[in-house]
């Protein structure tokens, strides 16, 4: 079951609730009892770990680690992908 984040529009209380996707979203705030809860947009809270295709494919050389472990960010770095053929600065064949 996914974990959803909600915020009360009345008092500002924030909470996380785990429920099925098919369940109706809660509307009553547990803090102020107003019917003002709205779902917040948030990032997924999981990370793929281990030796699967996402860890080993699309990388060259044994020294490259998982991007999350290196402290770098692929998004917003200016370079799309150094090994992608569509990247003008690519060194891949």
pLDDT at 1: 79
> Given a cut of 90, is residue 53 above it in pLDDT?
no
End-to-end, the C-alpha distance of the chain in Å comes to 43
Q: What is the mean pLDDT of residues 58-63?
A: 59
Q: What is the mean pLDDT of residues 19-35?
A: 93
pLDDT at 2: 84
Long-range contacts: 9-18, Cβ < 8 Å, 24+? 9/36, 9/37, 9/38, 10/34, 10/36, 11/36, 14/40
Across all residues in the chain, what is the average pLDDT? 73
Q: What is the mean pLDDT of residues 33-58?
A: 74
More confident residue, 37 or 84: 37
Q: What percent of the chain has pLDDT over 70?
A: 46
Q: What is the mean pLDDT of residues 48-66?
A: 59
On whether the CB atoms of residues 71 and 49 are closer than 8 A, the answer is no
> Given a cut of 70, is residue 76 above it in pLDDT?
no
């Amino acid at each position: 079951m996914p974990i959803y984040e909600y915020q009360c529009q009345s008092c500002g209380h924030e909470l996380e609730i785990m429920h099925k996707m098919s369940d109706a979203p809660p509307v009553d705030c547990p803090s102020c009892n107003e019917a003002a809860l709205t779902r917040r947009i948030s990032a997924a809270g999981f990370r793929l770990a281990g030796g699967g295709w996402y860890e080993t494919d699309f990388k060259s050389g044994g020294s490259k680690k998982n991007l999350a472990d290196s402290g770098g960010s692929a998004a917003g770095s200016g370079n799309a992908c150094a090994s992608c053929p569509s990247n003008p600065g690519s060194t891949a064949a």
